[in-house]
Amino acid sequence: MRHTLPIAPQFYVTAPQPCPYLEGRMERKLFTALQGENSERLNDSLSQQGFRRSQNVLYRPSCADCSACLSARIDVAAFQPTKGQRRTLKRNAHLERRATSPWASEDQYDLFRRYLDARHAQGGMADMDVFEFAAMIEETPIRSRVVEYTDGETGALTAVSLTDILGDGLSMVYSFYAPDLPQQSLGTYMILDHVEIARENNLPYVYLGYWVPGSRKMGYKANFSGLEVYAGGEWRPMKNPSDFGASRHPLSTDPIAEQVANIQLPDRVTPSRG
């Protein structure tokens, strides 16, 4: 009988580069490859510890003197929409949701390009071509779906979310939408609809990526009730956004070796650092 032994994931650190969220700061990421038979369990475990997926990589901010980036998720049971969010749901009642396998399409890429050109023309993804876009959508070793929202009257593709299905929730990996419909608040609408999808499937959380206090790009995530952030090695309810700051400090981040040693892995596999 042949036995396959679990292979301990190797963790690496990226070289510092300019932070896309806070001007004048440098970012650094701790990351590991997501591959093999244990991919789903590894993704579930590390997502619960503040990591995010990008294709076949899991990463978490590990900046030398800043710990502003906090992984955020919505506790579905504790979520209650605001009046404004209920209006957003009503404004988008004409949209039809369709969840498909993670395959890229020309319509998706066209919408993606319009979104980037209008909203993130100077961002790190601005030069992404159709092949790189297809890789972002299709290169996933875990259960993922493309959630499309189309106009029920015209059939036009209006918004898209690449969404991972975790053991304890949904993770919105990347979302984009028609940039010429600001009155519809499509980014907010997709989050609200994912809360509903999670509720329909008895999943307790919707993972939103990183909330960064002091960043206008990420500030909207604090508008959702039931929000929790991963700080100090645990998930904490965000009662007041002002309790978290973007101040930098040389001791705000633990040494890499200590961070890796504290990561909990499925099947008690011991991590190693590269």
So what's the pLDDT on residue 246? Answer: 63
Q: Helical H runs in 94-185?
A: 106-119, 130-138
Overall residue count recorded for the chain in this entry: 274
So what's the pLDDT on residue 215? Answer: 76
Give the Cβ contact number of residue 176 at 10 Å.
Answer: 22
Cα 5 to Cα 92: distance, rounded to the nearest angstrom = 49
So what's the pLDDT on residue 122? Answer: 60
Beta strand 205-211 pairing with 227-231: unpaired
SS3 call for 210: strand
So what's the pLDDT on residue 147? Answer: 98
So what's the pLDDT on residue 1? Answer: 36
So what's the pLDDT on residue 173? Answer: 96
**Tokens representing residue 254 in the block:** 């633990």
SS3 call for 145: strand
So what's the pLDDT on residue 248? Answer: 62
Cα 151 to Cα 190: distance, rounded to the nearest angstrom = 14
Which tens digit of pLDDT belongs to each residue from 212-224? 887 777 778 899 9
Cα 234 to Cα 50: distance, rounded to the nearest angstrom = 9
The one-letter code for the residue type at 52 is: R
Local confidence pLDDT in tens for the 274 residues of the chain? 343 435 578 999 999 999 888 888 899 999 999 988 889 999 999 999 999 999 999 999 998 888 888 999 999 999 999 999 999 999 999 999 999 999 999 999 999 999 998 876 566 676 789 999 999 999 999 999 999 999 999 999 999 999 999 999 999 999 999 999 999 999 999 999 999 999 999 999 999 999 988 777 777 889 999 999 998 889 999 988 877 776 665 556 778 888 888 888 886 555 555 5
First to last CA, the chain: 32
SS3 call for 175: strand
Cα 48 to Cα 58: distance, rounded to the nearest angstrom = 12
